[in-house]
Chain A
Amino acid sequence: METKEAIKEKSMVIQKDMLAKLFHELSVTKETGKKVVYTFVPGNLTELILSFDMLPVYPEINALQSGMRKKSGSYIKEAEKIGFSEDVCTYVKCDIGMMLNGNIGPTGEKLPPPDLLLLSYTGCFTFMKWFENLERLYPGVPVAMLHTPYQEDGHITPDQVEYMVKQMKEDVIPKMEMVSGKKFDMERLSKMMLNSAKAEDLLVKILETAKHRPSPIDAYFAGVYYIGPIFTAFRGTEEAVEYYTELYDEVMERMKLGLGPVTPEGELKEEKFRLVVEGPPNWTNFREFWKIFYDAGAVIVASSYTKVGGVYDLGFRHDANEPLESLAKYCMGCYTNMNLPQRVNLLADYVKEYQADGFLINSIKSCNSFSAGQLMIMREIEQRMEVPVGFIESDLVDPRYFSYANIKNRLESYFQMLDQRKIIMAQEAEKII
């Protein structure tokens, strides 16, 4: 495939600098003495980690970065060589393979080993097994586990919040104090929450610009960049607020000018289809995958994946008045911790509010947190919203499971379904008149 240089927005450049700075800081922890916490994106406790002046590392972000840099294939093979089965989550295998290969991060700098393993989200069973493996790779490193109750009944109860805060106070915070050698500072945490909420407000506004026609953003392919800082190491920082302010201005400007989303292939000139997408994207062939949508004039106006680190559009904000309680609510409120009826309701609302022409699922072979229930979700949306639905399958970072021809064939068929529907429905409407 011929590839020209990808077009980037200014905010993307800012983000790249932010990440470069972080990975550099991580590479020199030996010299600076900064402590490192390995943790996960869903329900992360970033502000708490930062309040102890520690640095977070997100193994699944490293895995997806490896996927985008075409390194995941060899890392996965490394992990399989030492006994990980073909069926194990490919984020895990990619991450472990990377560690076995010298733990070189996305910027080419070495990542430090963990000083603390913080398992803050238990909704994904694989996360627990993942950290059990990391514990073996880094013997002696303390582990803090925060049990996150699932929203079985479709809401978060006060008991659940209390239960989580108790775990933080009795286990997580003492371990952080021990590792960092610093005393927990509630006031500092509370101040950071003000920044968190500011950035969260902006992110919601940015994602909601997709309600506009044409949408100035792609809320899936570009969306994964937009959520980067807030879902990872920067929530609660001034930098994150600056980034989202810049991004918001950029997007508002595009909307004012009636422009479509910026894609690596250039600006999308004609918005032909508006879609809601469920499930994570494929990272190994991200640009090719995006291009199939770009070529068809398909814009993703809303996606569940961009809610994996927080469904802020439902109203949740980190709260300076109750920092620990809001961290608990945040952990329990992430997308994959919602029960299936909640997810169906959310996606149905997206189809309606974002005036989508269709609903598409990218089902991930190695992600049970997302894939379980997807066929039911699809049928429910099809029946309730009466929009054409599509289903494709790929994987997160295992390049062996991305079949370009198969995916293209299914997507093209799906776009033609939408296209043909418009033609025939227009003819039917004429008949009625």
Chain B
Amino acid sequence: MNKYYLGVDLGSTTSKAVIINEQDEIIGRGITNTRANYSVAADIAKDEAVYNARFSVLKKKLEEEIKANPAFKKYINDLESVFQYEQFKVRLDKLGEELLKTCHTFFKEEETREKMLQQLRNIRRAFKPVIKHDYLYNNLGAKNQFFRDIVSEKYNEEVNKLDMALFEPLMTVWDKSISPAENQLISFDFRELIDKAMDELREKYKNLPDEVLDDTSINFDAELNLLKGNFDHVSDSLRVHIDEIAKIDFNITNMTGTGYGRALLPFPQDCIRSEILCHAFGAHAVFPETRTVLDIGGQDTKAIQVDKYGLVTSFQMNDRCAAGCGRYLGYIADEMSISLNELGPMALKAEKEVNICSTCTVFAGAELRELTNLGEKREDILGGLHKAIIMRAMSLLARSGGVFNEFTFTGGVARNPAVLKYLSQLVKENYGDKIKINIHTDSIFMGALGGAMFARRNLNINLPAGKIETVAMK
């Protein structure tokens, strides 16, 4: 029986899970937003990682076939995306129930209540097909990953179209309903959802237009074309493999919980590790020549020195103030009324960096407004803000002893291209051109990866036989 290891990184903003095999290879990744109920966040990330693992086992199994038949690859990718939609639908129904419940308790007067209920139905009717379409045609992009973000964006859009007088009551109903809805743990039946997803896909492919149209709303590409008139054959030949992966028991032999909320995870004490160790170990595993790791997460920045084994020899963290971390960027994005993901690309367009103080998030917001009044361009202000974040990180790196050998950057903020630009620039300025800077597409998963790797290594040492039961996740 194959053995698998799980790492769960419960961060202040996002919760991540990674499943690895005996060879330390990542076979499943799951991520969700951290919410009031930590254990639900951890479970959702973990479940997602298990589903993702099934798909990666499928892809690995069919490696040769996929190479020979690109239609297979397209089908499997589409299937994974529609599978996510099926989960989304269930959550949306739960949210619908919560919204109704709130409406009933919040609006005592029947007439108002009926009016609001009608509005809610209309809103739901308006955005549901849009979201379905986005999932089916991969239009969600990286912009919105999580249930909460996707639905709140659409809900907001719809509410904004309505009369101003409805804004407040409808947003209050929303605020009171979203948290209970997202804090529910829903268990999905993989088999059932995959069947539904295959049915959806059948519909999708059946309705494909015969010719490439100029309509860009449908993502009709060459790969998709492969499936035209061919999907029955593709899905039939994959069916048997999909049946097989649905049956796999992912026996998690050991697991490690890490991150800011690790103490709240329902894991035995021996299975809890600090994110400092995990990020460093994960980063070192992916880039073995790494000696310095910088991790910028939601609320802290860590400069970590590791040895040749990936073990931490020293670390420095921000104390007393979390300006310059992920949450700082979130606040700035809100202040500018743009999405977090737009910040970096906008900052890249800066022609100069406006000098901004990074010692306090709230003051930076005030400074930003003042600079806008003075006529500074948004791009240049954002350029300055991103540079300020890195200046802070540089000071932490210096405190931790400097940058040596290869330098690996991890954490959610590593996804921001402007952060990368200034980091590379300042690392080279301060520590020379010879320092190799590593940033991996999986940078946000490094903590969970390190955790999973510790789970594999600590198995015999930390856990006397029988102390932890094998967790079978179906």
A interface list, Cβ under 8 A from B: 375, 378-379, 382, 388-391, 393, 403, 406, 409-410, 412-413, 416-417, 420-421, 423-428
Contact = CB atoms under 8 A, between A and B. Distances in A.
Given A389-B314, A420-B277, A420-B454, A406 B461 contact: no
B327 to A, nearest CB: 16
Contact of A413 (B277, B310, B313, B401): B277
Interface in B453-467: 454, 457-458, 461-462
Contacts of A382: 305, 313-314, 401
Contacts of B310: 424
Contacts of A423: 457-458, 461-462
A297 B263 CA distance: 18
Contacts of A403: 319-320
Query: Which has the most chain B C-beta neighbours within 10 Å: A388, A389, A406, A417?
Result: A417
Nearest to A428: B309
Contacts of B305: 382
B100 interface: no
Contacts of A406: 319-320
A427 B457 contact: yes
Contacts of A375: 399
Given A375-B399, A412-B274, A416-B273, A424 B311 contact: yes
Interface of B: 273-277, 305, 309-317, 319-320, 399, 401, 454, 457-458, 461-462
A379 B457 contact: no
11 contacts: A375-B399, A390-B315, A403-B319, A413-B274, A416-B277, A417-B277, A417-B311, A420-B312, A424-B310, A424-B457, A426-B461
Interface of chain A, main secondary structure:
helix
A412 B278 CA distance: 13
Nearest to A411: B274
Contacts, number: 61
Contacts of A426: 461
Contacts of A424: 309-311, 457
Sort A-B residue pairs by CB-CB distance and give the 9 closest, nearest first: A413-B274, A413-B276, A389-B314, A417-B312, A423-B461, A416-B274, A421-B311, A393-B319, A388-B313
A403 B319 CA distance: 9
Contacts of B462: 423
Contacts of A413: 274-277, 312, 315
Nearest to A421: B311
Contacts of B317: 410
B277 A379 contact: no
Given A412-B274, A420-B273, A420-B277, A378 B314 contact: yes
A409 B274 contact: yes
Contacts of B313: 382, 388-389, 417
A346 B355 CA distance: 44
A429 B319 CA distance: 37
A136 B459 CA distance: 65
Nearest to B260: A409
Nearest to B281: A420
A388 B401 contact: no
A383 to B, nearest CB: 9
B228 to A, nearest CB: 54
A356 B350 CA distance: 51
B12 to A, nearest CB: 12
Contacts of A421: 311
Contacts of A416: 273-274, 277
Most buried by A among B273, B274, B305, B316: B274
Given A391-B316, A410-B317, 14 more contacts: A382-B401, A388-B312, A388-B314, A403-B319, A403-B320, A413-B275, A417-B274, A417-B277, A417-B312, A420-B458, A423-B458, A423-B462, A424-B310, A426-B461
B277 A391 contact: no
Given A382-B401, A412-B274, A420 B314 contact: no
A388 to B, nearest CB: 5
Contacts of B319: 393, 403, 406
Given A375-B399, A423-B461, A424-B457, A390 B276 contact: no
Nearest to A407: B319
A426 B277 CA distance: 17
Contact of A420 (B311, B315, B316, B399): B311
A390 B277 contact: no
B421 to A, nearest CB: 29
A379 B401 contact: yes
Nearest to B320: A403
A175 B457 CA distance: 69
Nearest to A409: B274
Nearest to B305: A382
A410 B276 CA distance: 9
Nearest to B313: A388
B312 to A, nearest CB: 5
Contacts of A410: 317
A379 to B, nearest CB: 5
B348 to A, nearest CB: 34
Nearest to A415: B274
Contacts of B316: 391
Nearest to A412: B274
Contacts of B309: 424-425, 428
Contacts of A420: 273, 277, 311-312, 454, 458
